[in-house]
Structures are given as C-alpha cells and as structure tokens.
C-alpha cells in the first residue's frame, strides 16, 4: 500500500507500472507515459497527460482515450509522432511540443528537454523522444539519458532497458546531479533484478555522486519538496 504525499509538500508523486508516474498538486493530476506496461487505469482522473515518445510501453492509445473521455477538460502534450496518432479524436486538446518549449497546464509548469530516443542498436532507426521537468522539481527523461541544462531536484531514472547498461545509468545520475533518484522503466525486472539495481545504485555500489536512491513499488507515493 502506498503512503500519502507528505502534508505541505507542493507535489505528490505516485509510481505506476513501468515508466508511468502520477503527479498531484492542489487537486489536479498530471500523468506521464501511461503505456502498455502500466495499469489499465493509470491515466484515469488525469487533467494533464504527457507522453515522451511513441513506443507502446510509453504510449497506449486506448489508455489515453479512456482518460480523455473520462475528463472532458483533460489535455495531452506530446511530440509530433504521438500527436498525429491521436489528435484527430480530440480536436484542440492535443498539443505538440519539442525541445526547449515551456508551458503551463492545469497549474503545472512544464519544461521540455531532449530530442532523440537513446540508441537501441545501430541497425534500428532512432525515433524522437522528449523529457519533461515538472514544476522545476522532477525530471522524467523518457527513453533517453538527456542531461537538462538546469538543476534537477528529483530524477526519474530509466534503470533497465534494451538501450542502456548500468555504467551509463550511473554516469547519467552523476551528470544530472539530483538530490533524489526514483527508478522507472523497471517493468521487465523481477525482484532479483530490482534488488541488484538497488544495491548497485545504493550504498553497495560505486556511488551516485551524493544522490539518494530509492525504488517505489507501483502504487507507492511520496511527497516532493523544494
């Protein structure tokens, strides 16, 4: 069972399945990447939906449609490759963004960072990918190891994927230099794998450069403070 976001903190974060997270503030809800590995209801209740790229573990059209139909005020911000697939169903409610853009949605301040998905293999064409900094507090990079040119308090770390390895993950944490790290992109890990990464990124590893590291179970919540 998850814990409630700490009282008085400006932003509550709930980990959902795989790479999906839910952010809450002042009764409004922002959900990032409710894809096919996340819960069926992961996007429901959202006022704002952010999608980093078109891969199905991050973008599931049925989950987005359900959220948009559930809340007629809900809107989506995403890159062009995703927007083109869903904008026709919700005219005026799907917005295209790219690297360097900033916008306000339902009271959340959002910055867009990055342009390309990480390399999976040279034989596989790269697609576009953007990451999002929300309220200057938390950064979700999608499927890339983009280092924003700004301080990051809380980093959502894609810990396991076909396109990364531990040395790259650790160097990414050190380069971003956050205060706190929470794992995402963990849907293919079993308990053994989760424990292994916990040790490697924790006290048993070579060091994150001072960032605290934690893994949240799906449904578990924390409060984020400046």
- Predicted TM-score (pTM) of this structure: 0.94
The tens digit of pLDDT for each residue in 75-89 reads: 999 999 999 999 999
Residue-wise pLDDT tens digits, 202-221? 999 999 999 999 999 999 99
The per-residue pLDDT for 7 is 43
What pLDDT sits at residue 59? 98
Given pLDDT bands bounded at 50, 70 and 90, which one contains residue 225?
confident
Closest CA to 85 of 43, 106, 55: 55
The fold for domain 12-217 equals: Metallo-beta-lactamase; Chain A (3.60.15)
Joined tokens for residue 203: 């006290």
pLDDT higher than threshold 60 for residue 143: yes
Per-domain residue ranges of the chain? 12-217
> What digits encode the pLDDT tens for the residues 47-75?
999 999 999 999 999 999 999 999 999 99
Other C-beta atoms lying within 10 Å of the C-beta of residue 96: 15
In the prediction, which pLDDT does 10 show? 80
Mean pLDDT over each residue of the chain, to the nearest integer: 95
**Residue 25: CA count within 13 A, CB half-sphere:** 17
């Amino acid at each position: 069972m998850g814990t409630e976001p700490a009282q008085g903190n400006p932003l509550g974060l709930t980990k959902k399945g795989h790479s999906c997270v839910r952010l809450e503030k002042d009764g409004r809800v922002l959900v990032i990447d409710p894809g096919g590995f996340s819960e069926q209801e992961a996007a429901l209740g959202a006022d704002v939906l952010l999608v980093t790229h078109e891969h199905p573990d991050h973008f599931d059209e049925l989950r987005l449609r359900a959220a948009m139909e559930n809340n007629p005020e809900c809107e989506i911000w995403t890159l062009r490759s995703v927007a083109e697939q869903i904008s026709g169903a919700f005219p005026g409610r799907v917005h295209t963004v790219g690297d360097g853009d900033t916008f306000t949605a339902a009271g959340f301040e959002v910055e867009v960072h990055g342009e390309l998905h990480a390399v999976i293999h040279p034989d596989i064409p790269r697609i576009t990918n953007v990451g999002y900094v929300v309220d200057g507090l938390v950064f979700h990079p999608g499927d890339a190891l983009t280092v924003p040119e700004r301080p990051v308090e809380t980093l959502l770390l894609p810990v396991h994927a076909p396109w990364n390895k531990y040395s790259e993950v650790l160097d990414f944490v050190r380069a971003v230099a956050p205060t706190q790290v929470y794992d995402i992109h963990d849907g293919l890990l079993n308990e053994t794998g989760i424990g292994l990464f916990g040790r490697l990124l924790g006290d048993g590893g070579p060091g994150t450069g001072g960032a605290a590291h934690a893994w949240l179970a799906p449904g578990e919540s924390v409060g984020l403070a400046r």
